[in-house]
Amino acid sequence: MSRMLRLLVVGSMNMDLVLQTDRIPAPGENRMGEAYSYLPGGKGANQAVAAARLGAEVFLVARVGRDANGRKLCRGLKAEGITTKFVSVDPASPSGLAVVLVEDSGQNRILVYPGANMKLTVDEVGTALRDEYEAVLLQLEVPDAVVAASVRTARQKRVPVILDAGPARPFDLKLLDGIDILSPNQSEAEALTGLPCENAAEAEKAARRLRTLSAARHIVIKMGAAGAFLLTDGASELVPAFQVQAVDPTAAGDSFTAGLALEWLRTGDLRRAVRYGNAAGALSAMTIGAQPSLPSAAEVEDFLARNCPNITG
């Protein structure tokens, strides 16, 4: 059996308040919801859990508050086998909180209060990066300085870097200094480039702009039910999504990114990695909640075997 890939994830941890409803209220409207639950989330923690379930040895750099939510989030990570020695406790800020509204149609809307996530420090990342990893996985729910320091230190150590460019917000792409994979979704790509990203033709223009601004080796734009647009040396294409009945897409992008990163590290084949990520994301979208929805490696392989029986490699 091959050695497990060691992955460092630098990112956020949130408690998600998930509210289910037939539809989102209009401005000024008061509607009755159908159900609610508190579930672990945060893009960093989601991607850490997704990667662990897909077979990686995962280390998470994050910060929580000194509160019940923080303790519960850390217990959940440990139960997944994730190393939490780089998860710190902030004495003054509460743990991050996200309110997730999920419609019966499968559409969602998310409002995030970052809390302790924005108190993560450059020094904490530096300490974690003294160890050796096969890749570093980043998101934008932590301070820009932390993202920049992670990229800089990882590149000095010649460790591949993958950035999931969410949530949508202004960010200086020059800080990425030629990372390996930059992967926003459509709204994030538009926020970063100012260009629309509604179809494959627009996605290609946005991807080329992203590559120019960031010097990233590869661009992968997540396009929901359409799939993912891949731009790399000498090639650009829309890799189609798998058609499933979406229930809650909250962590589908995080599941995609973890699957993409691990399959690329295992095989070196980025198109195959995008297809694998599409499968992981599709499975996640079929279940309510962020971390409860994240599939295992066996589930992804079974899904691919059933949906791509004639595709190898």
Structure tokens at 235: 């090639």
Amino acid at 270: L
From CA 273, how far away is CA 33, in angstroms rounded?
38
Residue reference for tokens 């075997």: 305
Listed residue (93, 98, 155, 160) closest to 121, CA to CA:
93
Give the containing element (helix H, strand E) for 39.
strand 35-41
Specify whether the CB–CB gap between 15 and 96 falls below 8 A. Answer: yes
Listed residue (250, 233, 52, 203) closest to 137, CA to CA:
52
Listed residue (294, 214, 205, 301) closest to 258, CA to CA:
294
Specify whether the CB–CB gap between 198 and 226 falls below 8 A. Answer: no
104 annotated active-site = no
Please identify which of the residues 90, 164, 248, 254 carries the catalytic annotation: 254
Q: Taking the CB of residue 170, how many other CB atoms lie within 10 A of it?
A: 8
Residue 6: CA count within 13 A, CB half-sphere: 9
In the chain, how many H helices and how many E strands?
9, 13
Q: Which residues are catalytic?
A: 254
